[in-house]
Amino acid sequence: MLLTAQDINGIWKGKLVMAPGACFPVYNIELQIQVAGTRITGTAYHFSDSLNYVREVFEGNYNQESNTISIQENGIITFKIKEDCVPCVKKYALSYHKGGGNVVTEEQLRGTWSGKAADGKTVCDPGTIVLTRFDKSSFKPEFNLPPSLTKRKAELVKEIKVDTGSIRLDFYDNGQIDGDTISVYVNNTAIVSNKMLTTKPVSIAVQIDLEKPVQEVIMVGENLGSIPPNTALMIVYAGDKRYQLYLTADEQKNAMVRFIYEKPTSTAK
């Protein structure tokens, strides 16, 4: 049964059948997934055991309406494999499922994978994959995003299309100064940590272009201030355009603004 808006943060493990001559006789995969908004980050382990493995980082997107997941491994961080092996850097297209047969509580990510060898020349034979949620990792978990980001709903406040490479965001306390403290993440990277909102702006710059055309900015309310909830006024400066947004965060939700880059339209002279 396919469900909607599931929490896919955590550890997922599965097995692959690789072509003859693969690095490992039994090819296990572990994905350590973290999600904030629609953005996925994490660490992948391809391994036969804890002493023979390839460790990679990945990025991706999670469509919560359809529960479809796309993940792209970005490159190898460390590895312990035999010298003549060339690891495969994979891309996954998955969907979330819960229950099946007699195991009504089992959670799975199912789909397909494809990839290229780390030398960038050899195409790996594609295939299907089933990953099951586990409580414990075969390696040291590398969850570096706080629960206040990954366990709270990211509520989309506005989607803004921009044609400039640099955006400035100014955060102020909305109304009475009551001790509201925020953190701000851009595509799951911490930019502001535990800053109090006042009449002076907390300012950040966001770079956006064709290489990174979507930037999700999430404001986390680190406290509720003396007048709950945590509220902020965000002023957006994007080229010659200015936007004024009101953000609200509490212990259940964060506020998200999505910026999408559109190439400037050339003007005929």
CA dihedral (72, 152, 66, 116) in degrees, to 10, reads 10
Is 16 inside a domain boundary?
yes
Is 170 inside a domain boundary?
yes
Q: Are 117 and 201 contained in the same domain?
A: no
The predicted pLDDT at position 3 comes to 44
Give the DSSP H/E element, type plus range, for residue 150. Answer: helix 147-150
Q: Are 123 and 160 contained in the same domain?
A: no
Is 100 inside a domain boundary?
yes
The predicted pLDDT at position 122 comes to 82
Q: Are 124 and 41 contained in the same domain?
A: yes
Rounded Cα distance between 172 and 245, Å, is 11
How many domains are there within the chain? Answer: 2
Q: Which domain holds residue 230?
A: 147-261
CB-neighbour burial class of residue 105 (10 A; exposed 0-12, middle 13-18, buried 19+): exposed
The predicted pLDDT at position 211 comes to 87
Is 20 inside a domain boundary?
yes
Return per-residue pLDDT of the chain as tens, 269 residues. Answer: 444 468 899 999 998 876 665 666 678 999 999 999 999 999 999 998 878 899 999 999 999 888 899 999 998 888 888 777 778 899 999 999 987 655 667 899 999 999 888 777 788 888 899 999 999 999 988 898 999 999 999 999 999 999 988 999 999 998 788 889 999 999 999 999 999 999 999 999 999 988 889 999 999 999 987 778 999 999 999 999 999 999 999 999 999 999 999 988 765 54
Q: Are 14 and 124 contained in the same domain?
A: yes
Is 113 inside a domain boundary?
yes
Is 266 inside a domain boundary?
no
Residue 40, strand partner residues: 35, 60
Q: DSSP characters for 192-214? A: EEEEEP-SS-EEEEEE--SSS-E
Q: Are 109 and 165 contained in the same domain?
A: no
**Distance set, CA 185 to CA 8, 173, 208 (Å):** 19, 18, 15
Last residue of a domain, one of 102, 134, 166: 134
Is 244 inside a domain boundary?
yes
Q: Are 19 and 100 contained in the same domain?
A: yes
Is 46 inside a domain boundary?
yes
The predicted pLDDT at position 105 comes to 74
Q: Whole-prediction pTM value?
A: 0.86
